[in-house]
Structure 1
Amino acid sequence: MASIRTEVVINADTEQVWGAIRDVGAVHRRLLPDRVAGTRIEGDVRILVLPNGKVIRELIVDVDDTTRRLAYAVVEGAQPALTHHHASFQVLPEESGRSRLVWVTDVLPDTLAAEIRERVERGAADMKRTLEEAVAD
């Protein structure tokens, strides 16, 4: 199994970043407005609608306010060749009112790791930009 770890320092308060991450129904507004057209929640499942109309279903495994950690698993709509996808976000405090977002993604098969890494790194950069723009507003 490939494990992809991406970290990004965000110029925003830890509680503000965690508030956006834990708001599982607002990915399209608070984290990835250019990559997710809509989000809805059905029980423990988050449904993401992409700009091209593709739908991805994610099981929300855990939202832990004490450790500021969100875990989820893609259960439908990922690439056909992807047989396993589990990920977590954790928000950690940094100096000077900044935050560190740690995104760990485990995927199978290993052959998709490079492609998934590229998506995760691009997603982390997009989230950083969106969260920092929210602070500036």
Structure 2
Amino acid sequence: MATIIRTIDLDAPADAAWRLLEAPGEAARAFPGVLTDSHIDGDVRTVTFAGGLVARERIVTLDPEAGRIAYSVIEGRFSHHSAAMQVEAAGEGKCRLVWTSDFLPQEATAMVGPLMDQGLAAFKAVAEGRA
């Protein structure tokens, strides 16, 4: 199994960053340029990536107290997938986002890593009010 963990520091309060994640059906506004559409039906979120790929994800955990959302891709290229994003306070008006993704097949690392990097850059721009 492959695991990718990415962390990014944000010049934004943790509660503001969490507000971008707490509405799973609105993921496209938190990750502009990476996601072009997102909506939710029950606990299943459908996201459309800029390249046209569509993924269906089950929202497993939405924990405002911990600032954490966990999800799993339920259709597509993965034989296993689980991921979580967690916002952590990091001082006055600052926070960090930790994004962990576990998946099979391991060869998907070449696709997942760059998408996570693009997603973090987009999220940072939105959280910091630059997008």
Q: TM-score, normalised by structure 1?
A: 0.87
Structure 2 residue 31 is the aligned partner of structure 1 residue 32: yes
Whichever residue aligns with residue 88 of structure 1, its letter is A
Match in the other structure for 2:49: 50
Structure 2 unaligned runs (5+)? none
SS of equivalent to 1:96: coil
After the TM superposition, which residues 94-133 of structure 1 pair with which residues of structure 2 at under 5 Å, given as runs?
94-133=90-129
Displacement, 1:17?
0.3
Kept after mapping to 1: 8 A contact 2:34/2:118: no
Displacement, 1:118?
2.1
Match in the other structure for 2:60: 61
Whichever residue aligns with residue 99 of structure 1, its letter is C
Whichever residue aligns with residue 47 of structure 1, its letter is T
SS of equivalent to 2:24: coil
* Sequence identity percentage: 34
Task: Give the number of equivalent residue pairs.
Answer: 131
How many Å separate the matches in 2 of 1:38 and 1:108?
25
Match in the other structure for 2:83: 87
Q: TM-score, normalised by structure 2?
A: 0.90
Whichever residue aligns with residue 72 of structure 1, its letter is Y
SS of equivalent to 1:112: helix
C-alpha distance after superposition, 1:3-38 (max 9, x if no partner) = 110000011110010111111111112x11212222
Distance change in 2, residues 1:14/1:62 (3 Å) = same
Structure 1 unaligned runs (5+)? none
Match in the other structure for 2:10: 10
SS of equivalent to 1:25: helix
